[in-house]
Amino acid sequence: MQQQNQPMGQNQAQPMPQPPNVVSSKDLLYLTDMLSWNLNAIKKAHFYAEQCTIPEIKTALEQVCQMHQNHYNTLLQHLNQNPQTMM
């Protein structure tokens, strides 16, 4: 029997070739969490950017805000494309 070089119980999952046709309730909860995390990051980055007086840091915080806004919008767009696939 050939031994593997990975610790016991840590199997490497193969990537899914295509997403499933139905989003499970567990997946939906995770997606809801991701939306919440991004919204929270947007609010915090925006708040701190408004408070900041150092232009370089303010610009970086505004970029962070925009990045999380893009992630939020992308998730929302994917969820709104096929609402009938939700369980």
- Please state the domain extents for the chain: 25-85
Contact 63, 37 (CB under 8 A): no
- What secondary structure does DSSP assign to 15-65, as a single string? PPSS--SSB-HHHHHHHHHHHHHHHHHHHHHHHHHHH---HHHHHHHHHHH
User: Cα(49)–Cα(43) distance, rounded to whole angstroms?
Assistant: 10
**At 9, is the pLDDT very low, low, confident or very high (cuts 50, 70, 90)?**
low
User: Cα(60)–Cα(62) distance, rounded to whole angstroms?
Assistant: 5
* pTM score of the predicted model: 0.69
Mean pLDDT of 58-83: 91
- Above 60 in pLDDT, residue 1? no
Digit-coded pLDDT (tens) for 13-54: 888 788 777 778 898 899 999 999 999 999 999 999 999 999
